[in-house]
Amino acid sequence: MITGTFRQRGLVCTDHVVEVPLDHERPDGPRIEVYAREVVTAAKADADLPRLLFLQGGPGGKAVRPASKSGFVGRALDEYRVVLLDQRGTGRSTPVNRRTLARVGGPAEQAAYLAHFRADAIVRDAEVLRREINGGRPWTTLGQSYGGFITMAYLSLAPEGLRRSFVTGGLPTLTGTADEVYRLTFDRTLEKNEEYFARHPGDRDLCARIAGHLRTHDVRMPTGERLSPRRFQGLGLGLGTRSGFDTLHFLLEEAFVEGPDGPELSDTFLAGVHDATSLAARPLYALFQELIYAQGRATDWAAERVYRGRPEFDLDGGAPFAFTGETYYPFDFDEDPALVPLRETAHLLAAKDDWPRLYDLDRLARNEVPVYAAIYHDDMFVPREFSLETARAVRGLRPWITNEYEHDGLKEGTAVLDHLLGMAEEDGV
């Protein structure tokens, strides 16, 4: 149902909320709300434009909130009404966090509840929304990063709902395990470390000094929580984006100040580290980071296991300092106040070994929906090796392989979406 419409700098925005089953296999069971904002330019507000559903990255992030006709959303608005879905558990959809989960019950009840928050459920939610606002007609999807994972699940579960699909940096492995993915992403993260420290050679010694200081001092961030060496190491998440190198360097520039007893880490630095590493605004990102790869087996903290087998990242083994990337570990649920209440729940989810399959390989091999996918050759988050394998496995998928962009290429402007729309135009789709 429509809950409100407003105008904003040349845009007309309509808010939609639909009620869906928590478990789509049990339509008479508990229900949750799913929210989406539909955006169209004021000049085309009365036009019968097709709809494009944007599936954002994550997992666990809410949809973008455009304030004007700019960037990739602005480009899409040239041709579409754009539907921005807050995937279940995020944004204005029924939220998932330490406070709301406390109402569900204890860790076992929370784990059972969260088992219904993966890509397959998001697809079913999207289908309810499509029938509600698109008259049951197929629509186009644009999946960024994890949104591409959802797209593959959509093509597997409900291809009748799709007219065509675009994917940017998000072709997942269809059969690989979290361990197999992380072996490659750790390799790519090391490559990004080498690129970063080649650009800023003095930062490697500085990072080693910071890590050493954190080992020998009880350093508290402005929020009161302790900053550990492992949490500091996680700042490498940004190395996989175009602006991440500069953002990290500027943060490190102000790491130390002179205190009454000698060098101390500055509040400016500590506040920046907190903002970059806190999961308060998106706890599902940590809870589901490796569960998105789980099909028929437990992940059992795959990232921690792979990390322990990589001496290049060992903070105590004498190796040159290296940042880690898009991975979360048991220690995060011991240190981040937003995650600590979910520690036991996270361990139960990591041990769950009966996850259903997300992708129908036979259906994907017979796919009839046109798909256009940007594969970033140097992507730190989604390994190109698996993306290329998936591109070959999905009938009708046309890949564009490029090293001009990082994982966030879609957000840099309009060039990536322009290229994909151009590919579809070439095909007359």
Catalytic residues: 145, 354, 407
Tally of CB atoms within 10 A around 171: 30
**Cα–Cα–Cα angle for 193, 191, 373, nearest 5°?**
120
Half-sphere exposure of 248 (CA within 13 A, CB side): 28
Beta bridge partners of 376: 402
Residues whose CB is less than 8 angstroms from the CB of residue 150 and which lie 6 or more positions away in sequence, other chains included:
55, 87, 119, 122, 123, 143
Q: Phi/psi class of residue 370: alpha, beta or left (left: φ > 0; alpha: ψ in -120 to 50)? A: beta
Q: Please report the DSSP string for 368-383 in residue order.
A: -S-EEEEEETT-SSS-
Token pair for residue 20?
A: 């869906």
Burial of 30 (0-12, 13-18, 19+ CB in 10 A): exposed
Q: What are phi and psi of 247, to 5 degrees?
A: -60, -45
Which 3 state secondary structure label does DSSP give 23? coil
Cβ(245)–Cβ(323) below 8 Å: no
Distance, in Å, from the CA atom of 313 to the CA atom of 320, rounded to the nearest integer, reads: 8
Strand ranges inside 95-229, DSSP E = 139-144, 162-168
Tally of CB atoms within 10 A around 257: 12
- Parallel, antiparallel, or unpaired for β 256-259 and 262-265? antiparallel
The alpha carbons of the chain give a radius of gyration, in whole angstroms, of 22
Q: Roughly what angle, to the nearest 10 degrees, separates helices 244-253 and 202-216? A: 60
Place of tokens 């997300």: 358
Cβ(72)–Cβ(413) below 8 Å: yes
Beta bridge partners of 310: none
